[in-house]
Amino acid sequence: MTSKYEKIYNEIVLLIQNGTLRANAKLPSENDLSEQYQVTRETIRKALKLLSEHGYIQKIQGKGSIVLDVNKYEFPISGLVSFKELAAKMGQRTRTELVKLGLQVPSDFIKKQLKLEQSEKVWEVIRVRKIDDEKVILDKDYLNENLIPGVTVKVAQNSIYEFIELELGLVISFAKKEITVEEATMEDRNLLDLEGYSSIVVVKSHVYLEDTSLFQYTESRHRPDKFRFVDFARRH
């Protein structure tokens, strides 16, 4: 069940993406929109709030709402998006290789990252991401087996997030991410095509479910020249 304001949001996003609403165009006023969509103004405002938060429009008091210049085919590691979802936007240029999948007693470091009690096990999933046939990203995932049971080779080769959301019916809610640059390890050198680069861009994520339980710790290790992070930020 999608709400009215989400439907309106999606419709307007489509209008912007297919060019019906161009950059710098003015949206109809909130009153007009509430007339058009046969809902109250507050419902329109919820849709416009979403558009504004996602960088599609700018609201200006007393004037109206303006369509912003969206750079569509950016590479948005921003937000909380799985590699498979990213790859879909990049076309046929990406490929994933599963290096390792196992159910393990975690190291002290992983135990600390996942805030585990004694004797809980974790899935270790190590994957190499190829872009244009170069191995440029090393993803090391650690998943709490109590929360995420039954990870298979098939799942790891396809998409863990898809498995969690569709098969297990869980809702992924939020993540805390940290980007740093570190010296490449022996593992990085062995598994990636580093081409002489000696440092690695590391994106560390702690990912949580809707009920605030921490289910995943990930290190996504990128060759520096292939790393790009794009962000839209509003000032508060």
d(CA 128, CA 139): 6
User: Could you tell me the smallest distance in angstroms from the CB atom of residue 78 to a copy of itself?
Assistant: 7
Question: Does residue 132 bind a copy of itself (CB under 8 A)?
Answer: no
Spatial separation of the C-alpha atoms in residues 162 and 92, rounded to whole Å: 19
The burial of 232, by beta-carbon neighbours within 10 Å (0-12 exposed, 13-18 middle, 19 or more buried), is given as middle
How far is the C-alpha of 231 from the C-alpha of 236, rounded, in Å? 16
> How many residues make contact with a copy of itself (CB under 8 A)?
40
The answer to whether 194 contacts a copy of itself (rule: CB under 8 A) is no
- Interhelix angle 4-17/41-53, rounded to 10 degrees, is 50
Other Cβ atoms within 10 Å of 59 Cβ, number: 15
What tokens appear for 56 in the block? 């599609």
168 binds DNA, rule: CB under 7 A: no
- Note whether 166 binds a copy of itself by CB under 8 A: no
One symbol per residue from 210 to 229: x for binding DNA (CB under 7 A), - otherwise; what is it?
A: --------------------
Does the protein bind DNA through residue 54 (CB under 7 A)?
A: no
CA–CA separation, 97 vs 179, rounded Å? 23
Residues 67-86 interacting with a copy of itself (rule: CB under 8 A) = 68, 71, 78-80
Total residues at interface with DNA (CB under 7 A): 26
Write the burial class of residue 188 (CB in 10 Å: 0-12 exposed, 13-18 middle, 19+ buried).
Answer: buried
- DSSP H/E element including 212: none
Nearer to DNA, 67 or 138 (CB): 67
- Any contact of residue 105 with a copy of itself (CB under 8 A)? no
- 17 touches which of a copy of itself, DNA, none (CB within 5 to 8 A by kind)? none
Segment lying near DNA (by CB under 7 A), choices 15-23, 54-62, 74-82, 228-236: 54-62
Of 47 and 125, nearer to DNA (C-beta) is 47
How far is the C-alpha of 34 from the C-alpha of 40, rounded, in Å? 5
- Residue 176's binding partner, choosing from a copy of itself, DNA, none, with beta-carbon cut-off 5 to 8 A by kind? a copy of itself
Q: Judged by CB under 8 A, which stretch of 103-111, 146-154, 167-175, 187-195 contacts a copy of itself?
A: 167-175
Residues that bind DNA (CB under 7 A): 1, 3-6, 27, 29-32, 38-43, 45-46, 48, 59-65
